[in-house]
Chain A
Amino acid sequence: MAEQHAHATEHADHDHKPHGWRRWVYATNHKDIGTMYLVFACLMFFIGGAMAMVIRLELFKPGMQIVDPQLFNSMTTMHALMMIFGAVMPAWTGLANWMVPLQVGAPDMALPRLNNFSFWILPFAFFLLLSSLFVPGGAPAGGWTMYPPLVLQNGASFPMLIFSIHMMGVSSILGAINVVVTIMNLRAPGMSLLRMPLFVWTWLITAYLLIAVMPVLAGAVTMLLTDHFFGTTFFTAAGGGDPVMFQHIFWFFGHPEVYILILPAFGVVSEIIPTFSRKPLFGYEAMVYATASIAFLSFIVWAHHMFTVGMPLAAELFFMLSTMLIAIPTGVKVFNWTTTMYKGSLTFEPPMLFALAFLFLFTIGGFSGLMLAIVPADYQYQDTYFVVAHFHYVLVPGAIFGIMAGVYYWLPKWVGNMYDMTLAKWHFWLSTIFVNVLFFPQHFLGLAGMPRRIPDYAVQFTDWNMVSSIGGFGFGLSQLLFPYLIWKCVKSGQRVTSNKVWEGAHGLEWELPSPAPYHSWQEPPSDAVIARGAFH
């Protein structure tokens, strides 16, 4: 171990990284690329968040006050695209870039130049998408789900939407291939599959999901493109096509996609809860198998997004039952996390606080998900604010809190400085309170009959919309603390002296010095070091 340190320190002195802009444009180092992904995701998070603020401002009270209905529809559409493809997915890829090599004992990602390429596609994809706000007819306004025939009514923004989706898809696929190859080929000797940290496991499964479904999305949007420009009629009934077929293809991508957004969060939480419970993860193998089961089930539940399109009874029953099955592996995960805390020795640093908020609030999203699986009840929930509340509960205190928990957990390892704990706790409490003020009332609005994606509403929905908007502004403002806190940590945080950072931390990343050297694990860790970090 001492050898490793000495080696790493020595290496840090002459790691030959290019300086200035070349370091980033020509980047092949997994840490630099990881950082770029994370900074990019943060930027997109705030742009997408600003769009959400426009939405909540317009919905603060009934009547149209600030935006035209068309622009409102553009805001909901773009908010979703920015958050899903611009914020959450790149943030996870950034965390994978940083952590997978450190956690499996690899010197870098397996395909460094591909890594550079997959990142640098993204700024162009989002420049194209965002510039559609300024073309005649405005930004895409047909919903992020791009259902035809409506999406075909978009003006000049339509091909921009399609090509930006293509670019994001290419980027995701390349990133996923890199993760799979790294995990499969660059694990240190002795790091068997069932010794891998849960974050690596969940990302491996996520990467397979990405490789499986991003081409499906690419195919679907390409068919839209040819329908629009080249006279095909895949989705036009007048030419023998079927608009509902698009929905089937889209959700065949779309349901695995939602697990792409959440599975790495399961991984992060499975790292954090044991650390701050000072106890190994309960049921490690069950966690791996549960994740794999969820991934498998994600391929056979897609039509629960479209129960009202008029499917045969047998299909509705099938998709209801398959969807309900997801509750079983998800339940196993929640029970395992809870049991990990049972008879532990708990402390509540910011990563643990975010992981706990994840645990509670993701479970609430799980409950509403179960309710949505019940087809007859779904006829009342479908396309209402109940659905909006559901998926925001699993995506904001779910995926986003998972990302934040991960950043708070690993940031000291990345920069070698500790962040301001008090400020981070403020960030946590403000986020957790406001996220509930923001999204909980939306359950009521949906049940009381408010459809989603409407710019204005009947007056009886005023009260809860006001509450929701206040929560939205509070949540949005509190997020400004996050980049400030990271900036402050990098500039002037207190030095972290130990490798472990957190008392109960386990895993290879905690065997490296803090900050982790620019080139790490150039010599693989020994079997003893690996065994020390593994859960068993």
Chain B
Amino acid sequence: MMIRAKNAQLSNKLAAIVSSLGLSLACALPAHAESESGWSLLNMTQGVTDISREIYSLHMEIFWICVIIGVIVFGAMIYSIVTFRKSKGAVADVTLVHNTTVELIWTAVPVAILVFMAVPAAKTLIKIEDVTKTDLSIKVTGFQWGWQYDYLDSGVSFFSHLDRKSNTARELASGIDPNTVDHYLLNVDKPLVVPVGSKVRLLLTGADVIHSWWVPAFGVKKDAIPGFINEAWFKVDTDKPGLYRGQCAELCGRDHGFMPIVVDVRSREDFDAWVKAQAAEQKQAATPGAAPAQVAATASTTG
């Protein structure tokens, strides 16, 4: 059955390869939803925060500017290639070697276009860098290979790793079809939980080497550097609670490809209840007699 499915898949693929050849414009297709097939994954996500949408529109604006310039420049090239062929009897105009006016124009016009692009980009950047008035601070520590989250306001602290199913399937020649694993390589044992509609500040650092915390739907990517603390923030739309996924984006050694990020965005009440439960659980674990959960968690990270 798998072979049959493969064949059908392959012929679909061939069709799509053919259609993909002229495809630079296809970039402009609307952003994807997670359930769509791989072929339609062509563009950046719009995400679920104001910032991620601003980034998306900057990206699209510059993309379209490039398309317009491309049409003009490639058009001029193709026109010249088609029209001025020796085989069609074209004779070279050897006097055409210099034209100050034209050269000034094609230097000045790009300057104007660049200014036009830079202004909105700078505005968005200034917003992104404003890490004031946050509701909640979470310390994020990247390590080989997973993430540690410390809620600075409530003392809740835990580790987050690639979930067991993906971790088994991703072994060399494991024999497990990744398509049968739920969110292969993008699932964790314990997600980061945050409240919806709150400005969440992340304080990022690295325990061993440099990692980078990236969740595309939030428009956040920031390096986690040992010995230094970086700041980033996001604020998820109040009507968009749910699970959001990302990955480490800085090469960090053998299992760099296997340290996903999952953020569980909940309503404020659910979040508060979760924090309370976590704090209670942690307190219980810390009392003498009960096994130190944190040590066990640390030990399992070496795997």
Contact = CB atoms under 8 A, between A and B. Distances in A.
Interface in B88-119: 90-94, 96-99, 102-103, 106-107, 110-111, 114, 117-118
Given A63-B174, A461-B41, A380 B221 contact: yes
A458 B96 contact: no
Contacts of B251: 73, 142-143, 147, 150, 383, 453
24 contacts: A64-B172, A64-B174, A70-B254, A150-B209, A286-B103, A308-B221, A308-B222, A309-B230, A310-B231, A341-B80, A342-B76, A343-B90, A347-B86, A347-B87, A376-B125, A377-B59, A383-B250, A447-B27, A447-B44, A449-B45, A456-B178, A459-B38, A466-B13, A467-B20
Contact of B21 (A342, A375, A436, A458): A436
Contacts of B231: 310
B77 A371 contact: no
Interface of A: 62-65, 67-70, 73, 141-143, 147, 149-150, 153, 236-238, 242-244, 277-286, 308-310, 313, 316-317, 320-321, 324-325, 327-328, 331-332, 334-335, 338-339, 341-347, 356, 359-360, 363-364, 367, 370-371, 374-377, 379-380, 382-384, 436-437, 440-441, 443-445, 447-449, 451, 453-464, 466-467, 470, 504, 535-536
Interface residues on B, range: 35 or more
Contacts of B23: 440
A225 B87 CA distance: 60
B232 to A, nearest CB: 8
B41 A328 contact: no
B150 to A, nearest CB: 19
B107 A363 contact: no
Contact of A536 (B37, B77, B97): B97
Contacts of A142: 251, 253
Given A308-B221, A458-B185, A243 B210 contact: yes
Interface string B32-64: 101001110111110000010011001100110
A63 B253 contact: no
Contacts of A382: 212, 221, 249
B124 interface: yes
A332 B184 contact: no
Nearest to A325: B114
A448 B219 contact: no
Nearest to B216: A449
B210 A147 contact: yes
B257 A454 contact: yes
A61 to B, nearest CB: 8
Contacts of A279: 92-94, 96-97
A455 B171 CA distance: 11
A69 B86 CA distance: 54
A335 B257 CA distance: 42
* CB-based closest 3 A-B pairs: A237-B227, A454-B257, A463-B38
B97 A280 contact: yes
A64 B173 contact: yes
Nearest to B227: A237
A461 B247 CA distance: 14
Contacts of A437: 17, 20-21
A448 B225 contact: no
Given A313-B129, A346-B81, A463-B38, A456 B118 contact: no
Given A150-B210, A460-B41, A308 B90 contact: no
Interface stretch (B66-74, B132-140, B193-201): B66-74
A376 B247 contact: no
Given A309-B223, A454-B256, A317 B122 contact: yes
Contacts of B97: 279-284, 535-536
Contacts of A443: 27
Instruction: Pick the most buried of A149, A321, A344: most chain B CB atoms within 10 A of its CB.
Output: A344
A283 B95 CA distance: 12
A449 B86 CA distance: 47
A379 B184 contact: no
A286 B59 CA distance: 31
B16 interface: yes
A212 B249 CA distance: 31
A380 B247 CA distance: 12
B274 interface: no
A345 B254 contact: no
B84 to A, nearest CB: 5
Contacts of A467: 13, 16-17, 20
Contact of A346 (B41, B84, B184): B84
B297 to A, nearest CB: 22
B179 interface: yes
B55 A380 contact: yes
A449 B114 CA distance: 27
Given A69-B257, A454-B247, 12 more contacts: A67-B172, A73-B253, A236-B227, A243-B226, A278-B92, A331-B106, A341-B81, A371-B59, A371-B63, A376-B121, A379-B220, A437-B21
A440 B24 CA distance: 8
Contacts of A456: 170, 178, 185, 257-258
Contact of A371 (B66, B172, B227): B66
Given A64-B171, A309-B225, A371-B66, A283 B92 contact: no
B107 A457 contact: no
Contacts of B129: 313, 316
A535 B125 CA distance: 46
Interface string B179-196: 100011110000000000
Contacts of B279: none
A238 B44 CA distance: 38
Nearest to B179: A459
Given A279-B96, A367-B70, A344 B80 contact: yes
Contacts of A324: 114, 117-118
B128 interface: yes
Contacts of B263: none
Instruction: Pick the most buried of A63, A236, A317, A347: most chain B CB atoms within 10 A of its CB.
Output: A63
Contacts of A359: 77
Contact of A459 (B17, B176, B184): B184
A70 B256 CA distance: 10
B275 interface: no
